[in-house]
Amino acid sequence: MRVFKILALFMAIALLLISSPDFISAQDEDAEYDDAAYEALLEKGKEYYNARCEACHGADGDGKGFVDIIRVSEKNGRVLEIYPRDFTVGVYKFRSTATGCLPDDKDLMGTVKRGITKSLMPPQDNISSEETEAVVEYVKSFSERYEEEDPCDQISVADPPVWVASEKSIEKGKKIYKDMKCWECHGDLGKGDGPKSNDITDDWGKRLLPFNFVTGELKRGSTAENVYMTFTAGLDGTGMPSYQDTLNEEDRWHLVSYTLKLMGLTESDKKTASH
């Protein structure tokens, strides 16, 4: 009789758990369904990757594809040596998350669609949003980091204040550029030729030259917001550090003003250019 009571109790608990929605969502059947959908997505991603990415990034995602090094000459004669990214370590430069964090999926999807034209990684103009998601999932699957960590919150960027690129703001930004020692790497005039510019290696042990502002072309895309995000979040895996804890919001935009000036992208620059 007692045995029966205990069993009845068990049964009651089991039924209760089964009928609670939480439990149902954790059921194996559901998980299998998710797994199957994920596998299908990966399969699709792999197909796209093998057709469009493998030549540079390699079949195993270790950056050892057929194209193992890319050389880009700048106008002033400087030659950049750029290596297709090794995805196995799970480190990304173009993030909207704090230094040391995984990027947001949107960051990766943006990079894939836009390409990194300065590094000769081609844009994917006709990629569908499903293909983008699939190829990004596939790229992520090369690194075990994604099993251990979740991406951090995104750093939000407001619209640039109206005074960005004004004379006054450029003047303030010039001082910040000096005080923050951007010039030590990027040079007094932003030509990427500061006293430290020849000493920098990336996390893969390869020499890496600081950005030359005079070219006006960021790897990430030349917008005010992208400059802001570059020095706020830092470019992980490179020598370019994060100033998130060092600069306040207002100073960040003044600094952006000055860099726009260096890049010849302010309104007055554009006017003189068209004259």
Q: Which residues bind other proteins (CB under 8 A)?
A: 4, 7-8, 10-11, 13-15, 17-18, 23, 26-28, 31, 86, 88-91, 99-100, 145, 179-181, 184-185, 195-196, 198-201, 203-205, 234, 236-243, 245-246
In 3-state terms, what secondary structure has residue 181?
Answer: coil
109 binds, among ligand HEC, other proteins, none (CB under 5 to 8 A by kind): none
Please tell me the distance from the alpha carbon of residue 72 to that of residue 92, in angstroms, as a whole number: 21
Stretch that binds ligand HEC, among 50-58, 144-152, 159-167, 264-272 (CB under 6 A): 50-58
Q: For ligand HEC, which is the closer residue by CB, 135 or 170?
A: 135
Candidate residues 181, 206, 207, 270; the one interacting with ligand HEC per rule CB under 6 A: 181
Please tell me the distance from the alpha carbon of residue 142 to that of residue 139, in angstroms, as a whole number: 6
The CB-of-256 to ligand HEC minimum distance in angstroms stands at 8
Its sign, for the CA torsion 54, 58, 63, 69, is: negative
In 3-state terms, what secondary structure has residue 121?
Answer: strand
Q: For other proteins, which is the closer residue by CB, 224 or 233?
A: 233
Q: For other proteins, which is the closer residue by CB, 110 or 237?
A: 237
CA dist 39 to 42, 45, 58, 112, Å? 5, 10, 21, 21
Which amino acid is it at 22?
A: D
Stretch that binds ligand HEC, among 141-149, 161-169, 238-246, 264-272 (CB under 6 A): 238-246
263 is a contact residue toward ligand HEC (CB under 6 A): no
231 is a contact residue toward ligand HEC (CB under 6 A): yes
Its sign, for the CA torsion 101, 102, 105, 109, is: positive
Residue with tokens 């040391």: 100
Neighbours of 147 (CB within 10 A): 8
186 is a contact residue toward ligand HEC (CB under 6 A): yes
Residue 250 tokens, joined: 């207002």
On whether the CB atoms of residues 268 and 122 are closer than 8 A, the answer is no
User: Residues in contact with ligand HEC, total (CB under 6 A)?
Assistant: 48
70 binds, among other proteins, ligand HEC, none (CB under 5 to 8 A by kind): ligand HEC
On whether the CB atoms of residues 133 and 110 are closer than 8 A, the answer is no
Q: For ligand HEC, which is the closer residue by CB, 166 or 251?
A: 251
Q: For ligand HEC, which is the closer residue by CB, 141 or 230?
A: 230
Q: Which residues pair with 123 in a beta bridge?
A: none
243 is a contact residue toward ligand HEC (CB under 6 A): yes
